[in-house]
Chains A and B, each alone.
Chain A
Amino acid sequence: MAHVVLKDLIKTYGSFKAVNNVSLTVNDGEFVALVGPSGCGKTTTLNLIAGLIPITSGDIFIGDRVVNGLDPKDRDIAMVFQNYALYPQKSVYMNLAFPLQMRKLPRDEIDKKVREAAKVLDMTQLLERKPRELSGGQQQRVALGRALVRDPAVFLMDEPLSNLDAKLRVQMRSEIKRFHQDLKATIVYVTHDQLEAVTMADRMAVMNGGFLQQYDSPAQVFAHPANMFVASFVGSPAMSLIPLEVSTANGGTVLTSAEGWSLPLSQLNARKVLGATTRKIVLGARHSTIKLHKSAAPGAIPAKAYTVEPTGDVTFVQAFLSGAIVNISVSPNIAVTPDEHIWLEFDQERIHLFDGETEMALQAD
């Protein structure tokens, strides 16, 4: 296994910058998820690491080697593709054997390794089948087997679970996680599903528009999103972002809404807001940190329920506040009906504040 370092990585197509100055380090044995919406540059970044497309500028290290100009075959990597990319004309056995044959291993050693991998993945009885005779889950296992059969320095995975049905996806998710724990493998994993990234990765790199937005552990990204994009992308339902303005009232700092209400800030939050260069502030709050009152309460802001979505163990209520959609989760035994008047109370300790112009999270320095 080896570590991977990306340094000032840039990939342009004409005037379009698909990957913009991305720098990050994947430690030896670490599971890193590249996550972001489609077109954010995550797959391009993975293909750059694999060497499938040439880089425009910057450096890629695998281990201590610069691999910028190397062919994919010389980078000592293995890759699992979204559509599995199994060789349709070859049996499962030959699919698993192919990477070893290309490395000119002796036949008996190939046989031994293929059977070992098949045993680990529990597909010994499938070895003679062709890929088209396998179910989606089995194909995905073969793809994984072809990657692990030769012990590469780094595993690259490009949305390996997105073609599976929901139930199988959850199952394979834990299998891949287990596989990472057992092998202590270095894995770079691309996904558009923030839940996959949060549940599986040691660290997640959130990307948008070709830029790396934040690179940290899922817990840190969740608790301290660096900007509004990360805040709204990670977590489900998304963090509510409410555009407001700073003003002073009764000697304290408050956020006021065009709708007329205002929210007094705690001292710590006031310091954050006053450090901003703009008066436009965006208030962020996750659904579980907003308290819903059925009648007026001190410090609570009046709103109107828009939709109510019961999911069984929790009910999600959506409301409009200052022109933004606010998600609130409540216990299922609190009955809320659409268009009902409700009051929302924000937890000063757990709200997020963003600069309305730069969209960056505000810090109290």
Chain B
Amino acid sequence: MSTIAETASRSRSCRRGGVDGWRWAGRIFLVFMLLYTALPMVWMLITSIKSGFAAMQFPPQWWPDEPTLASYQKLLDPQNSVGQDFLRFFWNSLFVSTATTILSVIVAVPAAYAFSRFRFPGRNFLFFTVLLRNMFPAVIFLVPLFILMRMLGLVNTHGSLILTYLTFGLPLAIWLLKGFYDNIPVQLEQAARIDGATRFQAFILIVMPLSTPGIIATAIYSFIGAWNEYIYAYTFLSKNEQLTLPVGIQRFFSENTTDFPGLMAASFMMSVPVVVLFLVLQRYFVRALTEGAVKH
């Protein structure tokens, strides 16, 4: 008897030891992942407050002797030509991304609702084709879309980018929102309609507020996608005053020799809207992605 108990306890402690080992390995792995993702950003921030000379020094200064905000001042100064360009790129990016976001919500909300609630001929086929687009890398569509935009006379307009970003962002947006609407019991709308609402009112007053997390997640997703996109912006736009930030920053600094602190300061400011948006709305985003995983 005692031997059985002993072996059992030993095997149990062995197993616990094994679990602990794995847990520590996991933690170390996570620490490495954290450093891997965070260090470049920290380095970006540190470089942005160095002088041009300090940025090129080797061995590098981990913390600059004379931290300076000169790069930021230059970029944000509307009197300076560098500042004028940067602010214009920033504004262009903001315009394109915001327009993409608004349009994608306007299209995705009713589309997702229709996929979720109505049975119509070709419903499954249509839903599949919506997802089909996401099965190919974006670059494949570069040339065809460029030709299409030229035929439409949209090359060198922000409209070409907004349209393109919509075609990329909408599939996931519709798919995400459909999951949301699937989870809202249809009886809520029926109750609202019996209580005196039209079908549209039931949607606006009852269903829309319940799907806010999904709408916010959709919006963040479209905004970030549009904000960071490079290759299409690079191909479709050639006029300096129309460039968006990713292309603008790259072009702008290779023309004026490489000003690393300036480049890093610009990169940092480019990431600010995305980070702020994400921090403010992240709980909705997480909820949206996990919604429907468990039945409540």
Instruction: Determine the chain B residues whose CB is within 8 A of the CB of A52 once the complex forms.
Output: 190, 193-194
Task: Check B196 against A73 for contact (C-beta < 8 Å).
Answer: yes
Contacting chain B: which of A95-103, A271-279, A296-304?
A: A95-103
Task: Check B209 against A89 for contact (C-beta < 8 Å).
Answer: yes
Q: In the complex, which of the residues A81, A98, A99 contacts B187, with contact meaning CB atoms closer than 8 Å? A: A81
Total interface residues on A, using CB and 8 Å? Answer: 21
Task: Check A98 against B190 for contact (C-beta < 8 Å).
Answer: no
Q: Does B198 contact A (CB under 8 A)?
A: yes
Q: In the complex, which of the residues A72, A83, A87, A88 contacts B194, with contact meaning CB atoms closer than 8 Å? A: A72
Instruction: Determine the chain A residues whose CB is within 8 A of the CB of B197 once the complex forms.
Output: 73, 102
CB closest chain-A residue, reference B196: A102
Within 8 A of A (CB), among B182-222: 185, 187-188, 190-199, 201, 206, 209-210
A253 CB → nearest B CB, Å: 55
Q: Does A319 contact B (CB under 8 A)?
A: no
Task: Check B209 against A102 for contact (C-beta < 8 Å).
Answer: no
Q: Does A50 contact B (CB under 8 A)?
A: yes
CB closest chain-A residue, reference B188: A85
A347 CB → nearest B CB, Å: 47
Instruction: Determine the chain B residues whose CB is within 8 A of the CB of A71 once the complex forms.
Output: 193, 198-199
Which of B187, B192, B195, B210 gathers most chain A CB within 10 Å? B195
Complex formed: what's the CA distance from A89 to B198 in Å?
A: 19
Instruction: Flag A65-89 by CB within 8 Å of B: 1 or 0 each.
Output: 0000001110101110111010111
Which of B185, B191, B198, B206 gathers most chain A CB within 10 Å? B191
Instruction: Flag A187-210 by CB within 8 Å of B: 1 or 0 each.
Output: 000000000000000000000000
Task: Check A78 against B194 for contact (C-beta < 8 Å).
Answer: yes
Total interface residues on B, using CB and 8 Å? Answer: 17
CB closest chain-B residue, reference A74: B196
Complex formed: what's the CA distance from A52 to B192 in Å?
A: 11
Task: Check A79 against B198 for contact (C-beta < 8 Å).
Answer: no
Instruction: Determine the chain B residues whose CB is within 8 A of the CB of A83 once the complex forms.
Output: 185, 187
Q: In the complex, which of the residues A72, A82, A89 contacts B193, with contact meaning CB atoms closer than 8 Å? A: A72
A10 CB → nearest B CB, Å: 20
Complex formed: what's the CA distance from A72 to B189 in Å?
A: 11
A77 CB → nearest B CB, Å: 6
A344 CB → nearest B CB, Å: 48
Could you pull out 25 A-B pairs where Cβ atoms are within 8 angstroms? A50-B190, A52-B190, A71-B199, A72-B193, A72-B194, A73-B193, A73-B195, A73-B197, A75-B194, A77-B194, A78-B194, A79-B191, A81-B191, A82-B187, A83-B187, A85-B187, A85-B188, A85-B190, A87-B188, A88-B188, A88-B210, A89-B209, A98-B192, A102-B197, A103-B196
Question: 19 additional contacts, CB 8 Å, given A73-B196, A146-B191?
Answer: A50-B190, A52-B193, A52-B194, A71-B199, A72-B193, A72-B194, A73-B195, A73-B197, A75-B194, A81-B190, A83-B187, A85-B187, A87-B188, A87-B192, A88-B188, A88-B210, A89-B210, A102-B197, A103-B196
B residues engaging A (CB < 8 A)? Answer: 185, 187-188, 190-199, 201, 206, 209-210
